[in-house]
Chain A
């Protein structure tokens, strides 16, 4: 903190607040922001800040957050949509896009004013960046340092396949993989560093293999003990939730290059999986820090009133929450919820009320910075909300819970923002961010490897919600990869299994 003390001692000269940015000015702001971020112990990957034009921003949009993407028509569709809505003025472009990589790439739009660029740098380069580096999901699921190389490999590999096997074949394979992309992630299993046990086991396996090559000599001796215990053999031995992984390893007729493509899509899906689970936290964390850092600079008189007014204007737009009866309402704004939760946690630490002490005995009055870092590192949206959503925030947002049962011809208000309702609302809101409630639970339960090679999947409904109509389309894609009969079954009320869809469709034949 030597620099900071020195700054304080000398009469501080405010940074230039003219709306036009220059690279020199960006550098000055960046240095100051970095200093403050460091003061708040934000640990980040090295920043790579790229200034791009609006057109390039649209390209970046189309790449769905991948800085290097393989070619596929869906990205073209995304691009056309973006371009169309942008040109008609129905949509503004984001001020920035940030990529979970090391170095951490952030795109700043050329058109932003200087205060906007400062906001964006604090938000993306220090907020999101430190989240990527610190949050446990990102730590255990993604490898920031290798993602760019992997994406480059994927792009080249797929381009190569197109040359060799034709665009149509590759496109069909990618279509099929994209349809199953959400089921290319191990939801419950963590990727783990290979333990010593595992390492030894693998080594023995290798040895056994070598030994088996030697044993060939003795194969001529008839093996009488075979075929005794095999009727009960079921494959896979446990239900598989990671459909793409199963396909990659076990689909009987896939070409090697198709397996590699399945793998690529699976890897990319896995890379994005943490982002899906931490939207509220990630945005909230970034908003909290751009707000806190820039206010810190203001307190140090490094930025002017004019700068702050423009900043606050943009900031307020981002974190505003429409109410349910507004015509602009489109669900809860993750920026608003996340930002207010982090602000609220700080408040609970610094100025706890009696209510806070009752609800949050561990954190009320604790060091706010420690608490915030702990929260950022160890939670995802679901657990974050169930842990930290305070009654005060529920009142501020006036949250209420609607219970909708298909059986009834009415919806019921389950809870509102009052003493009786706090816990229920917290629980329901948390469930709302639980991906395993939102995504469909489909698992592979049987591959008939001895007989007709058919594949059976089971749909397990959550809250009796049916599987959507697209199932018959998706299963065609699955069939394309598996190339033998595929069916999805679901347990009926009476406990029997019923086929809900299959490919090829046999229902018309019978």
Chain B
């Protein structure tokens, strides 16, 4: 009457397709949730997935259902104090709204939003989808190259230390077989003729003698083929292979003077997160250095970088100088891929801007892979932007972009890197 089937080893991901269908359908909402979530994350916190929140009403599967009003009868268990005819006042705010029966509506409204998790991969893909990362990945930013020697087959010449014995002896056998094969054949023929002659009843003394001599000649010739020859020798070959270093350092420079408000900083933060995510797809180890500045620059931790408020004027060159100092001290440009990202609202002490240009051109850009400057402001550009524009004309690894609103960040980020990939390609 019954068959038992063990299905435990069957694939368990029967719902994967449906799950993807769900993500596909709600891509826009999920993307919005992802970009909202960026604010909640640290720059380097990219190892976890993300909780996605979608308003429940967007997800509804509408069906015709009964609404409010009318007469309802309901039976409940556990009567402890009611008698027939008792009247219980309705809570005032629900009057005329279908009474106190909470289960009258199944539309799902008023419930919590729909929350679920996506994996890290899904999170990054959603985040990068806007950035067309596949394209970016194909033409990666040029990286610092290191070399490493790898085995690459065998060659006929080399130093004795690299002799490969097995390969060499294999060569020797092959050579010996090749060089003696015709003689062996002759030898075999001679021996056969000799044996037929011996079996013959008649004597063939002279012929036998000739044959025996021939045989000894052939045998000595075969023996003379050398066991090993320089021709046989095989050496292990090594080749140099270019390996991009997996180390990178990312400098985040930000103006924290009084003119930068929290919203502006949030925007800058998104930009840094994007840059970090982008770099983390290319490099294994990334150091992040946060430098904030007003009139003086200071290296700080992430929290202080984004959330502590300072006031005062702005001298952008102080940050650049500190960056240059840190590079010299800690990040040798032969071993580290250096990236810089500067964010500011464009305010700078007018006399300082030319100095910034000088610092960039002379000290930072020669060492850095890439340096980007974003200006987050609604106002007209000031001296810093004008100076930087000059730098951009002469340097391919320098880019500046102007961001007005949050929604500008993705396009700007894409723009920044498109420019660079073009020049690199």
Contact = CB atoms under 8 A, between A and B. Distances in A.
Interface in B389-414: none
A332 B65 contact: no
A49 B2 contact: yes
B19 interface: yes
B10 A56 contact: yes
A62 B98 contact: no
Nearest to A417: B79
A401 B73 contact: yes
Given A30-B2, A76-B18, A171-B21, A410 B64 contact: no
Contacts, number: 269
Contact of A406 (B1, B3, B70): B70
A86 to B, nearest CB: 12
A326 B71 contact: no
Contacts of B14: 56, 59, 62-63
B18 A397 contact: no
Nearest to A402: B74
A431 interface: yes
A356 B279 CA distance: 80
A420 to B, nearest CB: 7
A122 B68 CA distance: 42
Contact of B71 (A83, A175, A406, A420): A406
A404 interface: yes
Given A73-B25, A79-B19, A417-B79, A464 B71 contact: yes
A49 B83 CA distance: 50
Contacts of B90: 409-411
Contact of B64 (A30, A183, A325): A183
A215 interface: no
Contact of B62 (A83, A179, A429): A179
Nearest to B87: A410
B351 to A, nearest CB: 58
A290 interface: no
Given A398-B78, A413-B83, A432-B73, A50 B7 contact: yes
Nearest to B19: A76
A161 interface: no
Q: Which of A69, A415, A477 has the most CB of B within 10 A?
A: A415
Given A103-B3, A468-B65, A468-B67, A410 B76 contact: no
A80 B72 CA distance: 34
Contacts of B18: 62, 69, 71-76, 79
A23 B7 CA distance: 12
A48 interface: yes
B33 to A, nearest CB: 13
B84 A416 contact: yes
Contacts of A183: 64
B29 interface: no
Interface string A160-179: 00000001000100010011
**Contact count band on A:** 35 or more
B82 A400 contact: yes
Interface stretch (B99-107, B197-205, B268-276): B99-107
Contacts of B60: 470, 473
Nearest to B26: A73
A55 B145 CA distance: 46
A103 B87 CA distance: 53
Contacts of B66: 438, 440, 462, 465-468
B47 interface: no
A77 B18 CA distance: 8
Interface string B18-51: 1111111110000000000000000000000000
A432 B2 contact: no
Contacts of B117: 84
25 contacts: A47-B1, A50-B5, A51-B6, A58-B15, A59-B13, A71-B21, A73-B26, A76-B20, A77-B22, A79-B15, A79-B19, A81-B116, A84-B115, A167-B24, A178-B63, A179-B63, A324-B78, A397-B77, A398-B78, A399-B76, A403-B72, A410-B87, A463-B70, A466-B68, A470-B107
Interface of A: 23, 26-27, 30, 34, 44, 46-53, 55-56, 58-59, 62-63, 69, 71-77, 79-81, 83-84, 103, 107, 110, 125, 167, 171, 175, 178-183, 321-326, 329-332, 397-406, 409-418, 420-421, 425, 428-429, 431-432, 438-440, 442, 461-471, 473-474, 477
8 closest residue pairs by CB, A with B: A323-B78, A76-B22, A465-B70, A76-B18, A464-B70, A473-B62, A468-B67, A47-B2
